[in-house]
Structure 1
Amino acid sequence: MIVGGIAAAVVVLVVALVLAGGAPERQPEGLIGAGLPLSWAVPVLRLLADGAAIAVGGGLITAAWLLPANGLRAAQDAAMAAGIWALASVAGLITSAAVILGIPLSHLAEHASIAGGLTQVRALAVTVVLTAVLAVVLSGVRTVRGARVGLGLAVLALIPPLLTGHGAIERTTFWSVTATTSLVLHVFAATAWIGGLAGVLRYARDRTAVERFSTLALVCAIAMGVTGLITAEIHLGGREEGWGLITQWVTTGYGALVFAKTVAFAALVTVGWWHRKTTLPELATGNPAAFRRLAAVELVIMAATVGLAVALSRTP
């Protein structure tokens, strides 16, 4: 399941970037640049960081709420995931700085002061500090209260990179704030939904934990649907050209990825409905097999959606 999810995320990321026009391009002959391998490393490292963040969120949600009586293992796994998140953020910071400046990695030290002034680099630096602190804090967590403190730190660590994306470059302050706020809430909901499901499968397969997660999933699905629609419409220019979402998702690469994410979201909502209708009643009778099989498929779809989201963040 884990291997399948990783493969789905990476494949979808690469294909989406290539088809939507966000893929790195080779520099013209004679020009110095960061190079294709380094340019491709940026979205891959972002995907790794996002996956680790989801693992942290899932472990802490399990320890703090879904299975508070026996969440020590989940909290310790979250500590390891936080370390991976920190390392991926460090690597992402370095590669992003080189790519933005258009220089080989070997020349980055010469331009360290310039790189330090880049908004994206500063945001990633904050994330690096927060995730490093988070990894240390979680390594010593033994209580539900500690897991909840860790969850708060994880929420803070998610925010900085979101403040430097598409929403931050909108022309009007009101729409910039709206787009950024919507994106932050969207990412919170996605992290809780995907991480919570992973936590249920890994740590808490009993009926009580699954019922708690089912409530969480419903709230997250509604939040993702609303915030996703708002964010996409703002970025596709609907506020200036009328309701532009429908027309532009078939005429632009960004819009095509929005459409693909919408299809994936619809599939996940359908799976969630099927859980409530069929697999949860079976789980209540003591038969968890159907729930586990469908949830594994759901996680693979979610992983592919994360790949789409990373591609969307790097598509003009």
Structure 2
Amino acid sequence: MSKNEKDPQVAGSEAHARSRGARLLVVGGGIAAVVVMVVALVAAGGAPERAPDGLLGAGLPLSWAVPGFRLVADGAAIWVAGAALTGAWLLPATALKVCQDAAIVAGVWAVASIGGLVASAVVILGIPLSHLGEHAAIAGGLTQVRALAVVVALTAVLAVVLSGVRTVRGARVALGLTAVALIPPLLTGHGAIERTSIWSVTATASLVLHVFAATAWIGGLAGVLRYARDRAAVERFSTLALGCAIAIGSTGLLTAEIHLGGRADGWALITQWVTTGYGALVFAKAVAFAALVYIGWRHRRSTLPRLSTGNPAAFRRLAATELILMAATVGLAVALSRTP
């Protein structure tokens, strides 16, 4: 056996350790995202409230289910996008493996979107779940419900496509379909309230680019951490991450300025960052973004050179920390989308 070949038992042990580490990271990231989302919603005034006396309403469990399903869907979307990106560009040799893994997660994305569709319908209409059948026609006309219905259809197709991927070209098709599936919910958020306003159109376009960049950054890092074993893939991701960071920073600032009404007066923007719940969450996201940029700088300065020496431990530790922070930021983003 040459020195570059590993004993099968050792290789199997390493694969088991990586799989276990991935599961622990998913659990840790999920906990961080949920905790941050709940705290942010409560602190910023976006948490669901009980219906006034005399009104039935959807109930608190279903009201909380709306951001909950959104968080699960966003997490699944990031995982799927990261897998497709890994197979399509970062590590083409893994296209078959990563896409078949992602097919199951695409199914989770579809199921979470169905849950979000039902919960959103009853919350918007202000009715108990048991009455939804009576108002199905009205629910079907809601913009948010239609958007989620499109996502359900797209993700169902995506799951089938991913399960059949055998080539890099197939991974690229799956990546494109994933990008399309991300768009519908973004067209019903804060930036889409007044479509006649040039600022609303700008905010929506900025949000789409922002989400694309964030999804590629987080998903790409998860992909290389889970599947990559050499520096080449990590170097490609590092280049991608730099572009994503620039896009996230610029679009985040633009979107915040538009929503906070600060385009005419810079001081008013700064004031609203600290006097409104929405502004406080935007500020918290900015702090988290700055921390992630610092971690990315540490990667380039310290951990990437160590990969060349065959010592990936430092990179994996820092990347795991980075992913936990990213997961918390996703929870913050979900809370932001539900905050007035």
Q: Give the shorter-chain TM-score range.
A: over 0.9
Asked if the contact 2:195/2:201 (under 8 Å) is kept, the reply is no
* Separation of aligned partners in 1, 2:49 and 2:134: 24
Provide Cα deviations, 1:137-169, integer angstroms capped at 9, x if missing partner.
Answer: 111010000010011110000000000000001
Q: 1:137 aligns to what?
A: 161
Matched, 1:185 2:209: yes
Provide Cα deviations, 1:37-70, integer angstroms capped at 9, x if missing partner.
Answer: 0000000000000000000000000000011022
Q: 1:294 aligns to what?
A: 318
Q: 1:162 aligns to what?
A: 186
- TM-score, scaled to structure 1: 0.98
Letter in 1 for 2:30: I
* Separation of aligned partners in 2, 1:240 and 1:225: 20
* Separation of aligned partners in 1, 2:339 and 2:265: 21
* Separation of aligned partners in 1, 2:140 and 2:315: 48
The one of 101, 105, 111 equivalent to 1:81 is: 105
Letter in 2 for 1:119: T
- TM-score, scaled to structure 2: 0.91
Q: How far apart are 1:241 and its partner, in Å?
A: 4.3
Provide Cα deviations, 1:107-149, integer angstroms capped at 9, x if missing partner.
Answer: 0010000000100001111111111111111110100000100
Q: 1:23 aligns to what?
A: 47
Q: How far apart are 1:170 and its partner, in Å?
A: 3.8
Q: 1:112 aligns to what?
A: 136
Matched, 1:39 2:66: no
200-209 vs 190-199, which moves further: 200-209
Letter in 2 for 1:214: S
Matched, 1:236 2:288: no
Q: Which runs of 5+ in 1 are unaligned?
A: none
Q: 1:284 aligns to what?
A: 308
Asked if the contact 1:233/1:243 (under 8 Å) is kept, the reply is no
Asked if the contact 2:86/2:94 (under 8 Å) is kept, the reply is no
Provide Cα deviations, 1:162-190, integer angstroms capped at 9, x if missing partner.
Answer: 00000001475211110000000000000
Asked if the contact 1:175/1:234 (under 8 Å) is kept, the reply is yes
Letter in 2 for 1:225: G
* Separation of aligned partners in 2, 1:49 and 1:288: 31
The one of 243, 247, 259 equivalent to 2:271 is: 247
* Separation of aligned partners in 1, 2:271 and 2:89: 42
The one of 91, 96, 101 equivalent to 1:72 is: 96
Q: How far apart are 1:80 and its partner, in Å?
A: 1.0
Letter in 2 for 1:22: G
Q: How far apart are 1:77 and its partner, in Å?
A: 1.3
Determine what percentage of the aligned residue pairs are the same residue. 80
Asked if the contact 1:233/1:244 (under 8 Å) is kept, the reply is no
Report which of the two structures shows the higher radius of gyration computed on alpha carbons. Answer: 2
Q: 2:8 aligns to what?
A: none
Give the total of aligned pairs. Answer: 316
Letter in 2 for 1:165: G
* Separation of aligned partners in 1, 2:230 and 2:187: 38
Letter in 1 for 2:317: R
Q: How far apart are 1:205 and its partner, in Å?
A: 2.8
Matched, 1:257 2:281: yes
Q: How far apart are 1:239 and its partner, in Å?
A: 2.5
Secondary structure in 2 aligned to 1:71? helix
Letter in 2 for 1:65: W
Give runs of aligned pairs for residues 260-271 of structure 1, distance below 5 A.
Answer: 260-271=284-295
Secondary structure in 2 aligned to 1:249? helix
Provide Cα deviations, 1:215-266, integer angstroms capped at 9, x if missing partner.
Answer: 0000000000000000011000113444533111100000000000000000
Matched, 1:197 2:212: no
The one of 327, 330, 335 equivalent to 1:303 is: 327
* Separation of aligned partners in 1, 2:101 and 2:268: 44
Letter in 2 for 1:224: I
Q: Which runs of 5+ in 2 are unaligned?
A: 1-24
Q: How far apart are 1:27 and its partner, in Å?
A: 1.3
Asked if the contact 2:117/2:148 (under 8 Å) is kept, the reply is yes
Letter in 2 for 1:43: P
* Separation of aligned partners in 1, 2:157 and 2:40: 34
* Separation of aligned partners in 1, 2:285 and 2:47: 18
Q: How far apart are 1:286 and its partner, in Å?
A: 1.0
Secondary structure in 1 aligned to 2:127? coil
* Separation of aligned partners in 1, 2:79 and 2:134: 36
